[in-house]
Amino acid sequence: MTARALFGVLQARLYAQRRVVLSTCAGALVAGLIAPASLAGPVLFCSLLGIVLALSQSPGVHPHLDRCEQSAPLFGRELARGKALVPCIAAALTVLVYMTGQLLGGAPIPPLTLLIALGSTVAGTLVALSATMRRGVLRALYVLLAAATSLVAFALVEVGRSVPGALAFCAVVAFLALRQYGETLARYDPI
């Protein structure tokens, strides 16, 4: 996939989803301003926003983009990378906005909190992307799995006291989720 195609997908999707992105960022700012300083806030709340951003990319929400991407000369894994980048960037933005809210509220932000929040949010978002290609119970299960990803990352830090463990867990889940999404897109029949 050329960088142009990647940025083309990114630009078109971000433009089409601009209202959702702005709404989630506004929500993250408000939550960051009022929430007490803790790891739970950014990890769990921003992961939830990441799931919302991933689901807003479901087939049928922007049909003209779906049709263009389905007929474009791209492999499923290439398209998956382009489409996954969109909610990941938007979700990372919500984390940064949340942290900005915390800073404005006078709370300190340890760099590790930012790192773990980014890692768990991106991993949860990538898992939630697989829910967009499914319906019914399977869709709900993938959403639950995405939420569980953030919970496990949070537990690894708070209970297991292992920041590298949490980051490694997020990296492995993110890698597997992206592969799974690419394979699903390659097999997907838009009928």
Partner 1 sequence: MPLLRMRDATFATETATVGPVSLQLEPGERLTLQCATAEEAAVVALLAAGIAKASGGSVLIDDYDPRVQPVHCKRVTALVPHEPFAIDESEFARYIAYRAALWNVEPARAFAHADLIRGRLRGMHEAFAYPLIGALIGLPRLIILDRPQAVYAPQIRTAVGDIALLSTHTEPAAASAFA
Q: Does 159 bind partner 1 (CB under 8 A)?
A: no
CA atoms within 13 Å, Cβ hemisphere of 173: 28
If we measure between CA atoms, which residue out of 16, 21, 12 comes closest to residue 61?
16
Q: What is the DSSP letter of 159?
A: T
Q: Which of 22, 30, 34, 75 binds partner 1 (CB under 8 A)?
A: 75
Of these, 9, 44, 49, 123, which contacts partner 1 (CB under 8 A)?
A: 9
**Residue 60 region by backbone torsions, left for phi larger than 0, else alpha for psi between -120 and 50, else beta:** left
Q: Is 64 in the site for partner 1 (CB under 8 A)?
A: yes
Query: How far apart are alpha carbons 99 and 97 in whole angstroms?
Result: 5
Q: Answer yes or no whether residue 8 interacts with partner 1 by CB under 8 A.
A: yes
- Does position 160 interact with partner 1 (CB under 8 A)? The reply is no
CA 67 to chain centre: 23
Minimum distance, C-beta of residue 94 to partner 1, in the bound complex (Å): 25
Give DSSP secondary structure letters for 105-123.
Answer: TT----HHHHHHHHHHHHH
User: Which lies closer to partner 1 via its Cβ, residue 10 or residue 145?
Assistant: 10
User: Least separation, in Å, of the C-beta of 72 and partner 1?
Assistant: 4
Residue nearer to partner 1 on the CB measure, 67 or 179: 67
Contact 56, 14 (CB under 8 A): no
The residue among 66 and 152 lying less far from partner 1, judged by its C-beta, is 66
Q: Which of 60, 73, 111, 136 binds partner 1 (CB under 8 A)?
A: 73
Binding site for partner 1 (CB under 8 A): 2, 4-5, 7-9, 11-12, 15, 63-64, 67-75, 189-191
